[in-house]
Amino acid sequence: MQSTTIHFAQFNQLQDDACHQRIHAARARLGKEAVLLCHHYQRADVYQYADFTGDSLKLSRLASGTDSRYIVFCGVHFMAEVADIMSKPEQIAILPDLAAGCSMADMANLAKVERCWRELGEVLDVDQQFTPVTYINSAADLKAFCGARGGIVCTSSNAGTIAAWAFARREKILFFPDQHLGRWTGFQMGIALDEMMVWDPDLEMGGLTAEQIRRARLLLWKGHCSVHQMFQPSHILRFRNQHPNGLVIAHPECSFEVCRQADFVGSTEYIVRTIKEARPNTRWLVGTELNLVNRLAEEVRHEGKIVQFMAPTVCMCSTMQRIDPQHLAWTLENLADGQVVNRITVPEHERALAKLALERMLAVS
Ligand code: 13P
Ligand code: SF4
């Protein structure tokens, strides 16, 4: 008998305990048909169901390696798009709540990036001089834009390697959408701060003069992650005054000053690995999303390690947080009934070029 889609309204008010029972039951019915990939920022009551966890680079590799029919992505929209692009044609990528977007990814769009490229072309030979590099936190059409122009994707864990790849081909990089990751990457490569200009997509010519564009080696799109802008150098200073032997680790989406004052800077996977591998009885101040920090603090407590969140206020990735047990139960129960909900499909005309840019990244890193 053909079953019909169960509507989310039936799950919206469901208590967490009931959700958990239904998630277990649906997963038992699905078996290996469904794999659950979870980003490190995922809330604990969903993260507990992960088959695999990781940062964006690790998860994009996992998405291309799994054989399950359904890839249920507990992350944000661009991550599920990458899963769709990198998986086999018969596989289906699913995002349990379609509202789980990335506000930073939304700070660049194709119309604005195309306009930027056109305007750069009025000043110099943009196709010969610039390589477009998009952070993986971007829509598929921007990855396709890069694929079509000899460009590439990067993540927070390979941005330096990718920038070196790009500079080996052309003299300049247009980096979007995160100015902070771009600036930190350029700084690590020895590029002077005054050779890194910010391109403001809401201003004509990005708010730059022709001379500034000609001089720039790295053009940084004016985008940011609001979660990581909550961390301030003053938080690090206070920690160092209180705990002179303490160590500071930050994600490269943090501001330049925070990264500069940290002892270690790296992706979410790097942060987790560095603290897990650290000596016992060490104290850490961590500048990244709260769910990751709380989980890590619990996991290393038995070794006498103390893990503190960098900001005095709560900063979570509120969009990723939308994927809750209610949405997961609803998604899995529908899949177990043979009904696909919240499928993420990248249009054919974007897929091949976006895949090219992603494959260049995977080959290089
Ligand atoms: P990672 O690739 O380090 O997991 O970062 C993704 C992200 O969105 C951080 O805000
Ligand atoms: Fe996007 Fe920031 Fe959330 Fe990462 S933490 S997914 S950059 S909004």
Are 275 and 336 members of one domain? no
Domain limit, last residue, from 225, 251, 274: 225
Task: Determine which residue's CA is closest to atom 6 belonging to ligand 1.
Answer: 56
Are 152 and 85 members of one domain? no
Residues annotated in a binding site for iminosuccinate = 39, 56, 135-137, 156, 251-253, 268
What does the pLDDT look like over 43-88, one tens digit per residue?
A: 999 999 999 999 999 999 998 899 999 999 999 999 999 999 999 9
- Alpha carbon 206 to its chain centroid, in Å, reads 25
Q: Tell me how far the alpha carbon of residue 318 lies from the centroid of ligand 2, in angstroms.
A: 9
The answer to whether residue 288 is domain-embedded is yes
Are 110 and 220 members of one domain? yes
Q: Tell me how far the alpha carbon of residue 354 lies from the centroid of ligand 2, in angstroms.
A: 20
Are 120 and 192 members of one domain? yes
The answer to whether residue 358 is domain-embedded is no
- Taking the C-alpha atoms of residue 274 and residue 287, their distance in angstroms, rounded to an integer, is 13
Ligand 1 atom nearest the C-alpha of 252 is: 3
The answer to whether residue 268 is domain-embedded is yes
CATH number at residue 266: 3.40.50.10800
- Taking the C-alpha atoms of residue 242 and residue 5, their distance in angstroms, rounded to an integer, is 56
User: Strand runs (DSSP E) across the chain, as ranges?
Assistant: 34-39, 52-54, 70-74, 92-94, 130-135, 152-154, 172-176, 196-199, 218-221, 247-250, 264-265, 283-287, 306-309
pTM of the model: 0.97
Are 261 and 205 members of one domain? no
Q: Tell me how far the alpha carbon of residue 319 lies from the centroid of ligand 1, in angstroms.
A: 13
Ligand approaching nearest to the C-alpha of 319: 2
Domain limit, last residue, from 202, 225, 248: 225
Are 163 and 221 members of one domain? yes
The label of the residue with tokens 């660049």 reads: 108
**Does residue 68 line the site of ligand 1, with CB under 6 A?**
no
Are 194 and 294 members of one domain? no
The answer to whether residue 1 is domain-embedded is no
Are 25 and 38 members of one domain? yes
Are 57 and 95 members of one domain? yes
Count up the domains in the chain and report the number: 3
Residue 47 belongs to domain spanning = 9-101+319-346
Residue 314 confidence class, pLDDT cut points 50, 70, 90: confident
- Taking the C-alpha atoms of residue 345 and residue 82, their distance in angstroms, rounded to an integer, is 10
**Does residue 268 line the site of ligand 1, with CB under 6 A?**
yes
pLDDT at 3 over 90: no
The answer to whether residue 149 is domain-embedded is yes
Domain limit, last residue, from 193, 225, 257: 225
pLDDT at 342 over 60: yes
What does the pLDDT look like over 96-105, one tens digit per residue?
A: 999 999 999 9
The answer to whether residue 242 is domain-embedded is yes
Enumerate residues lining ligand 2, CB below 6 A: 76, 102-104, 137, 225, 227, 253, 289, 317, 319-320
The answer to whether residue 333 is domain-embedded is yes
**Does residue 212 line the site of ligand 1, with CB under 6 A?**
no
Q: Tell me how far the alpha carbon of residue 338 lies from the centroid of ligand 1, in angstroms.
A: 32
The answer to whether residue 356 is domain-embedded is no
Are 113 and 221 members of one domain? yes
Task: Determine which residue's CA is closest to atom 4 belonging to ligand 1.
Answer: 55
- pLDDT mean across residues, the chain: 97
Residue 353 confidence class, pLDDT cut points 50, 70, 90: very high
Neighbour tally for 318: CB within 10 Å: 11
Are 17 and 88 members of one domain? yes
Are 88 and 115 members of one domain? no
DSSP symbols for 217-275: SEEEES---TTGGG--HHHHHHHHHH-TT-EEEE-TTS-HHHHHHSSEE--HHHHHHHH
Closest CA to 136 of 211, 61, 217: 61
- pLDDT value for 115: 98
Ligand 2 atom nearest the C-alpha of 289 is: 5
